[in-house]
Amino acid sequence: MIDNLFYISEIDVGVGAEVFLNTYESNHCVRVLRLKREDSLYVTNGKGSLFRAVLVQEASKACLLRIEERFDQ
């Protein structure tokens, strides 16, 4: 089971890349789920790619994530 799944529509990056969550997803990440720096989460683009990421910088308007693994269907 995957906990903490977030959506970034245009994500298509490799391992080690850094990406930002949008304001809605960032707010949910830090204020609702209360995730902190170095917590793991997953991101999907809704097109068959799944990414395991680590929270690098927590902010309610733009969380910065580092991609750790990529899974494609």
Q: Which domain holds residue 24?
A: 5-72
- Per-residue pLDDT tens digits for 34-72: 999 999 999 999 888 999 999 999 998 999 999 999 998
Question: What is the model's pTM?
Answer: 0.88
Residue 60 has a pLDDT of 87
Distances (CA, A) of 50 to 32, 60, 61, 63, 70: 22, 23, 23, 18, 6
Residue 1 pLDDT > 80: no
What is the domain count for the chain? Answer: 1
For residue 61, the domain's CATH number is: 2.40.240.20
Residue 40 has a pLDDT of 95
CA-CA distance, 57 to 62, in Å (whole number)?
A: 8
Q: How many residues does the chain have?
A: 73
